[in-house]
Amino acid sequence: MWRLTTSWRLLRCDRLEQQSHAFHLLDERIQRFIWEAGWTDLRDAQERAIPAIVSGTNDVIIAAATAEGKTEAAFYPALTHALAQLELPLIMYIGPLKALINDQFQRLALLCERLDIPVHPWHGDIGGTIKTRFLKRPEGVLLITPESLEATLCNRGSSVGLIFQRASFFIIDELHAFIGTERGMQLRSQLHRIEAVVGRQVPRIGLSATLGDMNAAGHYLRPLTKTPVQLIVSEGTGRELKVLIKGYEEPLVKQIAEDESEEPVSEIGPGLIAEHMYDVLRGSNNLVFPNSRKNVELYTHRLSRMCEERGVPNEFWPHHGSLSKEIRTEAEAALKSGEVPATGVCTNTLELGIDIGSVKCVVQVGCPPSVASLRQRLGRSGRRKGESAILRGYLVEDEIGPSSPVHTQLRQRTFQTTAMVSLLADKWFEPPSANGKHFSTFIQQLLSFIAQNGGATASQCYYLFCSAGAPFAGIAPKEFTDLLRHLGNKKLVIQDSAGLLLHGSTGEKIVNHYSFYAAFATDEEYRIIAGQKVLGSIPISMMLVPGQFILFAGRTWRIEAVDDDARAIHVTHAGGGVPPPFDSGTGKVHSAVRQRMRLLYDGNAPVDFLDTTANKHISQGRAAYARMELSDRCWTEHGSELIIWTWLGDDVNEALATFFRYGTLQAQADGPCVSILKGALSTNSVLDILNRLKETGPPSIDDLLVDAKALRREKWDWALPDHLLRASYASLNLDLPAAIDWLRCHEFST
């Protein structure tokens, strides 16, 4: 028996040795570990990553689908490099989730024990003993979150040099989840600060799902470098994708319920959808994404009740951010176990990282938030060889009546979803936006750096954070001094007689509380107040301007004033104004999606992955589009409204609406268009204004947003001077150049 096992091992070893060049480069003990694990070959990404990483000098991005062994591709050569050093170095792994760190710890512990390399997990749930052990001998592998890293930099300033002296690699997991975000800026700044302390560059390894623009990802990982980041992109095996989307129609009855301030009568769509899901999903593992926590509850409830009524064990598990850890763990365990079938009904909590095994179907209820997110979700399905990924979609459109709004007539939901699936099939998806100014995160990093150093001069800070190649390189000297002055006014920093920046009284309080370490804000709500009465509160994700109309508690309200500091919106009841009919549950829509929608409207063939009802909605949408002559016209008139059809993304339409408001019109971005309330103006005078705006150059952001309120989005936006706040908001939400371009290319005449 022993001999048999040995020869079997030797066989495998032979194959690895003959076919793999990279295998030889690994430490012998790691090689042996791989044979024993029963691997017969290395994956493509691993084969290419090992030689790139093992020398310990290069920055590398490994982009591959889930379950392609990215972690091993990074750690095996990094550990090999570590074993070859006289003194054991420190490999730093930074991950976005605690659950991911726990997973990786499990995966590494076995190997590292053999290699006699300590592995230290470090996040909020890890106890003091483990942390102290690491601090005594900071070597081996450290698995940490950006927040815990911030705490270390901030609170252990005097020993930061000692702790990170032997850092040999930064391994950043789920890189795509960091790019373009506050946390991403924080992380980049932290790596920069550590390198500044140890006085050398530490090779950075990014692990990522495939990104649209890999060069941009390289630039994110290491800006302005002479030796470019090595990109290792593994396409994986081209998987087949099966798609079926079913359409439903919601009858008009609910209009009768008008003016009852409560919810309209129960809707038919969700009931039918739940029944169909029950039939097709039972007996296998699946994930259902219904876009909101409320819908997760609704569908899980209906599906579980159906199991109960039919006397079968429950197979449907809810999973979202407001649920307790216990309930979430239960759902994850049910999905992972593989013993009985389980379907997770979830928000994007199950989109990232956590290992739940492969599922048969991914179900999307309503529009997907973006193509990128749809793609990420589909990555969970059909991961075994020979299996195809399956996407099922459910869409409800309202029955068309005599007074149906334009958006209903155009069947926008169906067109948007179809456009997104068609872009997905073309392998296109939204690139992460990298133009944000991120002044907010800069404030955090300044305060943290002051804590780390026990004070810093302004020029030291500017050089460290804002010079070429630094994390906040876009910030101009003038902006920096304006910011510092304002931080002084807010008592966040003070300058001592020698010119040293220190924490002010408020800064002290903020930095000394643990809530300081996260770079992102948690949702804040604004109260809606009519006279003395508080109507309720809503989370703000859109700038507000007095005079604007909003829909709340089933009625239309006119905004009279917005008080950012008191987080209050004062409104009066409005009789006539038409509120923007937002399609709930979707994120920002990219211009490419709107352009693809337009192609669909202009076409005439049925769509093969839509069922009969959904295809009927496509025909109806095309008929409405033709009736309004939208193929040739860029504006239409509907009662008191003038609609400008741009078929561009939300950032562009938002910029256009802002520009129109600057030109004294009452305008709002509204899906694929911008709608203008004519008020006392005639159609011709509105068109005149548009034509005039076309001639004027674009005004400054400050002029454009002079009346705009509720611009605060990021955590420390409250501490920004007005002009920097406007610049920051605009950088994240408005595409002014594209708006001006569009305007210049269009003519407004009757």
Site for DNA, rule CB under 7 A: 96-99, 123-125, 128, 131, 145, 147-148, 151, 155-156, 183, 291-294, 320-322, 347-349, 369-370, 373, 514-518, 520-523, 538-539, 541-542, 550-551, 582-589, 650, 654, 669, 671
Q: Tell the smallest beta-carbon distance from residue 216 to DNA (Å).
A: 20
Nearer to DNA, 74 or 657 (CB): 657
With beta carbons less than 8 A apart as the criterion, state whether 526 and 543 touch.
no
Round to whole Å and give the CA distance between 358 and 335: 9
- Give the Cβ contact number of residue 388 at 10 Å: 10
Specify whether the backbone of 353 is left (phi greater than 0), alpha (psi in -120 to 50) or beta. left
Least Å distance between CB 49 and DNA? 26
- Cβ neighbors of 743 (< 8 A, separation 6 or more) are 656, 659, 690, 693, 694
CA 179 – CA 177 distance, rounded (Å): 6
179 and 217 Cβ atoms separated by less than 8 Å? yes
User: Beta strand 343-346 with 286-289: parallel, antiparallel or unpaired?
Assistant: parallel
Tell me how far, at minimum, the Cβ of 174 lies from DNA, in Å: 10
Cα distances (Å, whole numbers) of residue 394 to 272, 295, 341, 460? 10, 13, 22, 56
CA distance 567 to 481: 28
Nearest distance in Å: CB 735, DNA = 12
Residue 155 or 230: the one with the smaller Cβ distance to DNA is 155
Q: Which residue's CB is nearer to DNA, number 233 or number 521?
A: 521
Read off φ and ψ for residue 243, nearest 5 degrees.
-130, 135
Q: What sections of 341-388 are H helices per DSSP?
A: 371-378
What is the three-class DSSP state of 639?
coil
Could you tell me the smallest distance in angstroms from the CB atom of residue 549 to DNA? 11
- Nearest-5° Cα angle at 431, 425 to 432: 140
Q: Please, which residue, 9 or 336, has the CB nearer to DNA?
A: 336
Residue among 8 and 582 whose Cβ is closer to DNA: 582
Nearer to DNA, 382 or 432 (CB): 432
Residue spans of beta strands (DSSP E) within 449-520: 456-457, 493-495, 500-503
Token pair belonging to 127? 């106890």
CB of 698 to DNA, least distance (A): 20
Q: Where are the alpha helices (DSSP H) in 268-351?
A: 269-281, 293-309, 325-337
CB of 583 to DNA, least distance (A): 6
Q: Which is nearer to DNA, 337 or 584 (CB)?
A: 584
Nearer to DNA, 286 or 653 (CB): 653
CA distance 287 to 378: 9
Whose Cβ is closer to DNA: residue 520's or residue 609's? 520
Q: Are 397 and 250 a contacting pair, CB within 8 Å?
A: yes
Q: How far is the CB of 579 from DNA (least distance, A)?
A: 9
Q: Sheet holding 316-319: strands in order across?
A: 241-250, 389-398, 361-365, 286-289, 343-346, 316-319
Question: C-beta of 543: minimal distance to DNA in Å?
Answer: 9
Separation of alpha carbons 279 and 584, rounded Å: 27
* Residue owning tokens 């604004």: 526
Cα–Cα dist 439/445, whole Å = 10
Minimum CB separation of residue 294 from DNA in Å reads 6
Question: Which CB atom, from 124 or from 338, has the smaller least distance to DNA?
Answer: 124
Round to whole Å and give the CA distance between 743 and 736.
11
Helix, coil or strand: residue 106: helix
In the complex with DNA, the residue whose CB is nearer, 80 or 291, is 291
| Cα separation, 376 vs 380, whole angstroms | 7
Closest to DNA by CB, 318 or 504: 318
Contact 145, 98 (CB under 8 A): yes
Q: What are phi and psi of 442, to 5 degrees?
A: -60, -40
Question: Helices 182-198 & 458-466, crossing angle to 10 degrees?
Answer: 110
How many Å is the maximal CA-CA distance in the chain?
94
Name, in order, each residue with C-beta under 8 angstroms of 265's C-beta and a sequence gap of 6 or more. Answer: 253, 254, 256, 257
CB of 553 to DNA, least distance (A): 11
Nearer to DNA, 76 or 742 (CB): 742
Distance of closest approach, residue 135 Cβ to DNA, in angstroms: 9
Q: How far is the CB of 70 from DNA (least distance, A)?
A: 19
Q: How many residues does the chain have?
A: 750
Tell the smallest beta-carbon distance from residue 471 to DNA (Å): 18
Instruction: Give the residue with the Cβ less far from DNA, 156 or 282.
Output: 156
- Residue 154 or 724 having the CB closest to DNA: 154
Cα–Cα distance measured from residue 33 to residue 53, given in angstroms and rounded to the nearest whole number: 19
For residue 654, the minimal CB distance to DNA (Å) is 6
The least CB distance from residue 296 to DNA, in Å, is 8
CA distances 285 to 282, 336, 434, 530, Å, are 8, 9, 36, 49
List, in order, residues 6 or more apart from 567 with CB less than 8 Å away. 524, 525, 526, 527
Q: Which is nearer to DNA, 190 or 349 (CB)?
A: 349
Least distance to DNA from the beta carbon of 538, Å? 5
Q: Which two tokens stand for residue 291?
A: 């876009």
Which is closer to DNA, CB of 125 or CB of 308?
125
Q: Which residues contact 11 (CB under 8 A, 6 or more apart)?
A: none
Q: What is the dihedral of CA 463, 464, 467, 472, to 10 degrees?
A: -130
